Amino acid sequence: MPRPCRTGQINPLYAAAFGSLALLGVIALLMLNGVGGPVSRTSRAKRLTVYCAAGLRPAVEAIAKEYEAHHDVNIQLEYGGSNTLLSRLEVAGMGDLYLAADQSYTDLARKKGLVRETISLAVMRPVILVGKGNPKNIHSIDDLLRPGVRVALGNPQQAAIGKKTKRLLEQSGHWKRLEKQVEDHGVFKPTVPEIANDVKLGSVDASIVWDAVAARYTDLQAIRTPELDAGQSRITVGVVTASKHPTAALKFARYLAARDKGSKIFAEKGYDAIKGDPWAERPKMTFFVGSVNRRALEPILKAFTEREGIEINTVYNGCGILTAQMRAMKADQASGFPDAYMACDVYYLNTVSDLFQRGVNISHTDIVIVVQKGNPKHLESLADLTKPGVRVALGQPDQCTIGVLSRHLLESEGIYQKLLDQNVVTQTATSALLVPSVATGSADAALAYRTDTLAEHEKVDAVAIQSPLAKAVQPYSISLSSPYKQLAGRLYAAIAAGRESFESAGFTWQLDSPAKTD
pLDDT at 22: 43
Tell me the pLDDT band of 15, cut-offs 50, 70 and 90.
very low
Residue 16 has pLDDT above 70, yes or no: no
Q: How far apart are alpha carbons 202 and 10 in whole angstroms?
A: 79
Mean pLDDT of 50-78: 96
Surface-to-core class of residue 455, CB atoms within 10 Å of its CB (0-12 exposed, 13-18 middle, 19+ buried): middle
Q: What is the pLDDT of residues 487-510, one digit of tens each?
A: 999 999 999 999 999 999 999 999
Residue where a domain terminates, one of 250, 273, 296: 273
Per-residue pLDDT band at 46 (split at 50, 70, 90): confident
For the ranges 212-216, 336-340, 366-370, the lowest mean pLDDT is seen at 212-216
Q: What is the pLDDT of residues 310-328, one digit of tens each?
A: 999 999 999 999 999 999 9
The CATH number assigned to the domain holding 374 equals 3.40.190.290
What is the domain extent for residue 430? Answer: 282-518
Tens-place pLDDT, residues 247-267 = 999 999 999 999 999 999 999
pLDDT digits (tens, 9 = 90+) for 360-395: 999 999 999 999 999 999 999 999 999 999 999 999
How much is the average pLDDT of 141-151?
95
How would you classify residue 98: left for phi > 0, otherwise alpha for psi between -120 and 50, otherwise beta? beta
Residue at 8 is within a domain: no
Q: Map residue 394 onto helix, strand or coil.
A: strand
Query: Under 8 Å CB-to-CB from 148, ≥6 apart: which residues?
Result: 185
Query: What are the backbone dihedrals phi and psi of residue 413, each rounded to the nearest 5 degrees, phi first?
Result: -95, -5
Report pLDDT for 75: 97
Whether residue 469 is found in the same domain as residue 375 = yes
Mean pLDDT taken over the chain: 90
Mean pLDDT confidence for 136-152: 96
Query: CB under 8 Å to 436, separation ≥6 — which residues?
Result: 442, 456
CA-closest candidate to residue 473, choices 342, 346, 289: 346
- In this prediction, residues 286-305 reach a mean pLDDT of 97
Predicted local distance difference test score (pLDDT) of residue 36: 36
pLDDT in tens, 431-452: 999 999 999 999 999 999 999 9
373 and 287, same structural domain?
yes
pLDDT digits (tens, 9 = 90+) for 156-186: 999 999 999 999 999 999 999 999 999 999 9
The pTM is what?
A: 0.84
Distance separating alpha carbons of residues 468 and 345, to the nearest angstrom: 14
445 and 357 co-located in one domain: yes
Percent of the chain beyond pLDDT 70?
90
Q: Do 300 and 328 belong to one domain?
A: yes
347: in domain:
yes
10 found inside a domain: no
Whether 201 and 111 share a structural domain:
no
pLDDT of residue 512: 73
The model's confidence at residue 466, banded by pLDDT at 50, 70 and 90, is: very high
